[in-house]
Amino acid sequence: MTPSSASRYTYLGPEGTFTEAALRTLPESGTRELVPMVSVPAAFDAVRGGEAAGAFAAIENSVEGGVNATLDELATGAPLMIYREVLLPIAFALLVRPGTALADVKTVTGHPVAQPQVRNWLAAHLPDAVWESSASNADGARQVQEGRYDGAFAGEFAAARYGLEPLVSEIHDTANAQTRFVLVGPPGRPAAPTGADKTSAVVWLGDDHPGALLELLQEFAVRGVNLMRIESRPTGGGLGRYCFSVDAEGHITDRRVGEALMGLKRICPKVRFLGSYPRADEIRPQVRPGTTDAEFTEAADWLSRALDGRI
């Protein structure tokens, strides 16, 4: 990695995306070169190729769920790790060229994840408008600037960048919608535990049999580890072949979390550790009785005494 790439972060572009807005909330963003890329895979590949120190992408939306491009990139290719997450409130504006009235809007665009968040608004206010997806919301704004579409659903902050006007602001079908973004980098030591952490992994099942998913879940349940998210993604190996992307409360250095991951490694053919990192909401887990580090240590000491005949 060159000195310049060591201070470079890539993100889904072009300029004016929600991803860029979320990235700029990181304290270090002011000292980094922020480089927009045409896709999430391109942003991640820049890190894999040593051209950037980190890549920033959306991974989950509170309305639409997981962002497949990000989930699949983390599950395939050369390994990457998550080091930080950001939560960003999401509301859309309908951006148009100056002088455009609502009645003039016949075609609209935006990122595919945006459509479910404005579907009801569209049905109520622009029922005949034709939707076509763009690579990103900001790319949709750029295409409106070029005259390809009449309106784009994007962040209001993107209007000035593309010479557009927010015809309608604060558009969302679901109040308090949020998108979760992650900063990924080359594999390394996880971020230090804070007490309010999250651990992410991808897990592959060995074979499809009754109770296979239950066996995976039990590795967390019996150790008192709460799962915050679990999603299945096709592996590409045929119908019915899936891996599972999971987020769990806690840090890999927590005994309950580390032992749950070891349990998965015993029963699954492949486990990809994606990192332990601070939770953006700073919520600390409620640790169940019998699952604290001290209680794991006490149980291990008891076993040692039993083996030595000291009980």
Give the span between the Cα atoms of 164 and 176, in whole angstroms.
Answer: 25
**Verdict on whether the full-model pTM lies above 0.85:** yes
Helix residue spans in 96-253 (DSSP H): 115-125, 137-145, 158-161, 212-221
- What is the 8-class DSSP label of residue 190? P
Q: Which tens digit of pLDDT belongs to each residue from 149-166?
A: 999 999 999 999 999 999
Q: Band of the pLDDT at 287, cuts 50, 70, 90?
A: very high
For residue 240, what pLDDT is reported?
A: 72
* pLDDT at 92 exceeding the cut of 90: yes
Beta bridge partners of 166: 95
Q: For residue 67, which of 229, 273, 239, 272 has the smallest C-alpha distance?
A: 229
β-pairing, 8-12 with 33-37? Answer: parallel
CATH architecture of residue range(s) 92-171: 3-Layer(aba) Sandwich (3.40)
Mean pLDDT score, 297-305: 93
For residue 212, what pLDDT is reported?
A: 85
* pLDDT at 290 exceeding the cut of 80: yes
Q: What is the mean pLDDT of the chain?
A: 93
Q: What is the CA radius of gyration of the chain?
A: 22
Mean pLDDT score, 86-113: 95
Q: Does domain 1-89+182-188 bear CATH number 3.40.190.10?
A: yes
- Specify burial of residue 178 (Cβ count, 10 A radius: 0-12, 13-18, 19+): middle
Q: What strands lie across the sheet with 227-234, from one edge to the other?
A: 227-234, 242-249, 197-204, 270-278
Mean pLDDT score, 253-277: 96
Domain boundaries, given as residue ranges, for the chain: 1-89+182-188, 92-171, 189-311
The reply to whether 92-171 and 189-311 are identical in fold is no
* pLDDT at 4 exceeding the cut of 70: no
Q: Band of the pLDDT at 47, cuts 50, 70, 90?
A: very high
Q: Which tens digit of pLDDT belongs to each residue from 191-246?
A: 899 999 999 999 998 777 888 889 999 999 999 999 999 999 988 777 778 899 99
CA distances from residue 269 to 207, 209, 302 in whole angstroms, order as listed: 9, 14, 32
Residue % of the chain over a pLDDT of 70: 99
For residue 2, what pLDDT is reported?
A: 67
Q: For residue 198, which of 141, 135, 247 has the smallest C-alpha distance?
A: 247
- Residues in contact with 224: Cβ distance below 8 Å, sequence separation at least 6, in sequence order: 256, 287, 288, 290, 291
For residue 206, what pLDDT is reported?
A: 79
- Residues in contact with 216: Cβ distance below 8 Å, sequence separation at least 6, in sequence order: 203, 205, 244, 264, 267, 268
CA angle, 105 as apex, 103 and 109 as ends, to 5°?
A: 155
Per the CB < 8 A criterion, the answer to whether 191 and 182 are in contact is no
Spell out the CATH class of 189-311. alpha beta
Mean pLDDT score, 4-27: 92
